[in-house]
Amino acid sequence: MDGKIYGVSLGLNSVALVYDKQLIESLGLKSPSWPMTWKDFGDLAAEITKAAKKEGGYAGIQDGGGYEPALESWVRQRGLNLYTPDGKLGFTEKDLVEFLAYWSDLRKRKACVAPDVQALDKLTVENSMLSLGKAAMSFANSNQLVAFQAINKSKLGITMFPTGGQSAKPGQYLKPSQLWSVSARAKDQETAVKIVDFFVSNPDAGLLLGAERGIPASSKVLAAVEPTLDELGKDMSRYITFISDKVGDLPPPPPQGAGEIQSVLRRVNEQVGFGKLSETEAAKQFFNDANAALSRG
């Protein structure tokens, strides 16, 4: 439409911090909550590690230095984005050095898991540090709370990522879980539009879908769905409602080649963790490899 591609959101979610609420409260500590700075977050993680006294490399938080959404929130709080509208990296080596150094400090304080433990995380719910019993807190997406609770015996909680402080920009944003689009070459565009309209604005469709594909973006659908949700579904709904006035704009869409960036970030963070690279060397390596991936598309 006017040379641009549009999509209609089926549901809303955002990144979130999922944590072992039952354990943290049993240790006599306060659960993480907004607004919590990155410093406060690191201090809490260190307190959890110390108070839990668990074997097997247990720590307060996963090592998030190799987790792209954590980096994205970090740079957005500085008024930047992971990518520019023209598909380039939208932050500097200095931003990444400081991000990697933050996690190096947490490793030294045993606030986050060691690199050999973090290597077990394959970025799925099942082998996250929280689900493997290696950490009390893990980064996730809000609509994954149901999946996390299904495989964790302790009662879990959900809250926002740490903030960059009072003067910082919002790090998070509301994400469409899926987008509906109708092809300009569709043979029956009128019927296609009716199908999309049914899914996104009809309460009957909302009752069938529930919250698994995100919280309904339509207030009418949400009003019909919310009373039917179980406690976890209501937790997700309350979370999206709570953060809605605390988030920033949707960033530019990732460019072609961006799928490799998570792997590059994880690799350089592991090399820092194992003492193979300094944070400055790792940032330089990241920019070289990430720019090469983006140029290949």
Domains of the chain by residue range: 13-173+256-296, 175-243
* SS3 category, 225: helix
Q: What are the angstrom distances between the C-alpha of 168 and each of 23, 77, 140, 162?
A: 31, 5, 22, 11
Alpha helix locations (H) across the chain? Answer: 21-26, 38-52, 68-76, 93-108, 115-118, 145-150, 189-201, 203-209, 219-225, 231-243, 261-273, 279-296
| CATH class of this structure's domain 175-243 | alpha beta
Dist. CA 1–CA 23, nearest whole Å: 51
Of 242, 202, 195, which is closest to residue 225 (Cα–Cα)?
Answer: 202
**Residue 137, helix vs strand vs coil:** strand
pLDDT confidence tier of residue 195, bands split at 50, 70 and 90:
very high
Torsion, Cα of 270, 273, 279, 284 (10° steps) = -20
CATH fold group of domain 13-173+256-296: D-Maltodextrin-Binding Protein; domain 2 (3.40.190)
Interval 35-41 mean pLDDT: 95
pLDDT number for residue 144 = 87
For 153, the token pair is 């015996």
Q: Residue 52 carries which DSSP code?
A: H
User: 289: pLDDT confidence band, cut at 50, 70 and 90?
Assistant: very high
Fold identical between 13-173+256-296 and 175-243? Answer: yes
Phi (first) and psi of residue 215, to 5 degrees: -75, 130
Q: Is the pLDDT of residue 210 over 90?
A: no
Identify whether the C-beta of residue 148 lies closer than 8 Å to the C-beta of residue 157.
no
Distance CA 289, CA 297 (A): 12
- Beta-strand relationship, 59-61 and 135-141: parallel
Q: Which two tokens stand for residue 208?
A: 């069938």
Structure tokens at 276: 């193979």
Average pLDDT over the chain, rounded to whole?
92
Average confidence (pLDDT) over 33-51: 95
pLDDT digits (tens, 9 = 90+) for 47-95: 999 999 898 889 999 999 999 999 999 999 999 999 999 899 999 999 9
Q: What is the pLDDT of residues 152-165, one digit of tens each?
A: 999 999 999 999 87
The pLDDT tens digits for 107-149 are 999 999 999 999 998 888 999 999 999 999 999 998 888 889 9
**pLDDT given at position 5:** 87
Q: Which residue has the tokens 């944070």?
A: 279
| Mean pLDDT of all residues in 204-226 | 88
pLDDT(200) > 80: yes
pLDDT at 159: 95
